[in-house]
């Protein structure tokens, strides 16, 4: 019997790992980037079925840990490159660091999966599991009568809502606790599916929660039809395919997620500005220097700075944008007349530049973007708000870890939330730097005053630290989601990729080849519509409404459990 128990555990671990791989691949497959919403929902279906069919709470938590640790490790495995290749950290220590981070972040979902099992699975289907049934279990076996059908529907709705709330809260924890690292949140996979229709209302985390809800709904349907055969030793998968209606429960959602982008493609590729709210077209030039990371902050920094300077002052575009830290030195290290010389080369009031450079105020540094408009003496400045742990500041108690790396680490101060936009040619241009575009709720603060809301978003990035990997596609999908949430175009100037122009509908209009020195020219129209519903509530309360919704649903489940227990006494 122990042999069969271990074999079943191993099989469940394999399914959990497979689900984790689907989750990781949904945001960008190696050698074939881009979002894959069907793959993400399939991962949710696997996770929901494993959770629902767990015979003990320990098995549930184990499956949750395997799923999420594999999903996260395979999502941001490229951190290994920055640690080992560029940071010259020992390969084993670097691999351990990435895996430890994935395991630590997976604990969020493990905790909420345990709560879901205790408050959802055991009361609803505990009588069919090997774990002793709690006294407060009130839901019985489904019946064929109308009362039984209604009971099944309530059970399914309760489980699906509780599962979605648990998944939502685990993603919110990862997004905000300990500075937040929401890379790979499940909603990003649905940029091209019908679930993206919810982006301007509920944002990326709301989409992820709905995907979890739908996954548990279908998993419960499958579980009801196969449990008897599974308990008797018959293959659940074989039993599923004996029932064609059950196959439809899986195939139709998958098919809808795959076909939707093809059906609505023509509607999404309409010219920018064909709908109301567009401003005058702005010609932009995005500079992709492709400066090697090994020398970017050492030997090559003055050579790279000269190239960027030459391109900016010779460009005929109205707006020129460089990547993050295109100038890998402060203004004090540049010639004294650097800003004046650049301003004099710009056409007065008809040209502007936005370039990445570290700023220095006394002994304090900031990761900044400076803007110049024509021959104006005023210098626009944006300071990065959301800093990268280990790259731009060292978290407490982790000095020993960073001491293992041989790379220039920044010690920057964060800028204030809701900084003003660069006003130019009737546009309000709002920069964000590097992975700041992961935090849509922080970008939404700029929409608090609709008369000052940005018309164009600009991302300045340098993610060459992580090599020519799937991170380029993942970051592009993140920017696309921000355009869907906020309904504003975004232009991206990066050191090595993905330099791109994305319209307000999330469609990539221009994309430069990665890891090549490029000058990308495009025409962009700012948008001046009213802020989206997501921008309205996120600007005022951040992610608190989603926290409240998730905790309320979870609390209802917990209170229901306590109420049933009290009645049974």
- Interatomic CA distance for residues 521 and 282, integer angstroms: 11
Consecutive H or E run containing 278: strand 278-288
* 384 has catalytic annotation: yes
DSSP state of 512: P
**Buried/exposed code over 503-539 (b: 16+ C-beta within 10 A; e: otherwise):** bbbbbbbbebebbeebebebebbbbbeebbebbbbbb
**Cα angle for residues 95, 99, 100 (degrees, 5° grid):** 115
Q: Which residues contact 153 (CB under 8 A, 6 or more apart)?
A: none
Q: Which residues pair with 322 in a beta bridge?
A: none
- Interatomic CA distance for residues 116 and 139, integer angstroms: 16
Q: CA-CA-CA-CA torsion for 82, 88, 90, 92, nearest 10 degrees? A: 20
Supply the Cα-derived Rg of the chain in whole angstroms. Answer: 26
- Interatomic CA distance for residues 542 and 441, integer angstroms: 5
Catalytic residue among 173, 392, 434, 442: 434
**Tokens at residue 325, please?**
């830290």
* 103 has catalytic annotation: no
What's the Cα-to-Cα distance from 490 to each of 32, 83, 471, rounded to whole Å?
23, 30, 18
Report residue 465 CA to chain centroid gap: 19
**Which residue's entry shows tokens 């660069």?**
422
Catalytic residue among 124, 285, 318, 384: 384
* 392 has catalytic annotation: no
Q: Quick one: which of 440, 489, 484, 493 has its CA closest to 463?
A: 493
The DSSP annotation for 433-460 comes to EGGGGG-HHHHGGGGSSGGG--SEEEEE
Catalytic residue among 318, 324, 436, 525: 324
Diameter of the chain by CA atoms? 85
Task: Give the phi and the psi of residue 311 in degrees, each rounded to 5.
Answer: -70, -40
- Write out the catalytic residue numbers: 324, 384, 434
């Amino acid at each position: 019997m122990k042999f069969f128990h271990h074999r079943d555990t191993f099989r469940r671990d394999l399914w959990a790992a497979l689900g984790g791989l689907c989750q990781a691949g949904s945001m960008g497959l190696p050698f074939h980037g881009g979002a894959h919403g069907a793959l993400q929902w399939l991962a949710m279906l696997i996770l929901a079925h494993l959770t629902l069919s767990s015979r003990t709470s320990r098995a549930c938590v184990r499956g949750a840990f395997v799923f999420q640790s594999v999903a996260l490790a395979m999502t941001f495995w490229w951190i290994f490159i920055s640690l080992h290749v560029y940071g010259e950290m020992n390969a084993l220590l670097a691999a351990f660091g990435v895996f430890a981070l994935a395991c630590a972040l997976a604990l969020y979902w493990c905790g909420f999966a345990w709560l879901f099992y205790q408050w959802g699975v055991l009361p609803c289907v505990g009588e069919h599991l090997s774990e002793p049934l709690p006294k407060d279990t009130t839901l019985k076996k489904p019946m064929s009568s109308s009362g039984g059908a209604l009971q099944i529907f309530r059970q399914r709705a309760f489980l699906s809502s509780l599962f979605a709330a648990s998944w939502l809260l685990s993603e919110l924890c990862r997004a905000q606790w300990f500075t937040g690292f929401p890379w790979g949140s499940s909603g990003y996979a649905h940029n091209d599916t019908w679930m993206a229709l919810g982006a301007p209302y509920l944002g990326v985390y709301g989409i992820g929660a709905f995907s979890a809800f739908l996954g548990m709904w279908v998993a419960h349907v499958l579980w009801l039809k196969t449990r008897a055969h599974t308990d008797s030793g018959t293959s659940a998968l074989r039993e599923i395919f004996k029932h064609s209606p059950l196959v439809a429960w899986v195939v139709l959602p998958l098919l809808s997620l795959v076909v939707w982008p093809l059906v609505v493609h023509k509607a999404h590729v309409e010219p920018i500005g064909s709908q109301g709210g567009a401003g005058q077209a702005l010609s932009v030039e995005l500079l992709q220097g492709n400066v090697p990371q090994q020398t970017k902050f050492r030997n090559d920094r003055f050579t790279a700075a000269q190239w960027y300077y030459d391109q900016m002052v010779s460009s005929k575009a109205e707006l020129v944008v460089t990547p993050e830290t295109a100038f890998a030195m402060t203004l004090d290290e540049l010639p004294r007349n650097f800003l004046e010389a650049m301003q004099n080369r710009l056409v007065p009031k008809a040209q502007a530049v936005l370039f990445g450079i570290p700023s220095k105020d006394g002994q304090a540094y900031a990761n900044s973007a400076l803007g110049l408009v024509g021959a104006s003496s005023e210098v626009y400045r944006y300071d990065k708000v959301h800093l990268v742990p280990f790259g731009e500041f060292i978290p407490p108690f982790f000095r020993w870890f960073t001491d293992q790396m041989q790379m220039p680490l920044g010690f920057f101060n964060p800028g204030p939330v809701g900084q003003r936009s660069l006003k130019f040619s009737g546009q309000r241009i709002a920069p964000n730097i590097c992975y700041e575009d992961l935090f849509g709720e922080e970008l939404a603060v700029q929409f608090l005053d609709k008369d000052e809301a940005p018309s164009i978003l600009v991302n300045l990035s340098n993610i060459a630290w992580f090599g020519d990997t799937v991170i380029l596609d993942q970051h592009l999908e993140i920017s696309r989601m921000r355009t869907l949430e906020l309904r504003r175009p975004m232009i991206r100037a990066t050191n090595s990729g993905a330099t791109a122009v994305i319209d307000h509908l999330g469609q990539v209009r221009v994309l430069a080849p990665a890891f090549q020195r490029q000058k990308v020219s495009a025409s962009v129209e700012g948008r001046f519509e009213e802020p989206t519903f997501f921008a309205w509530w996120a600007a005022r309360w951040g992610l608190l409404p989603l926290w409240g919704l998730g905790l309320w649903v979870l609390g209802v489940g917990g209170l229901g459990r306590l109420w049933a227990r009290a009645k049974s006494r």
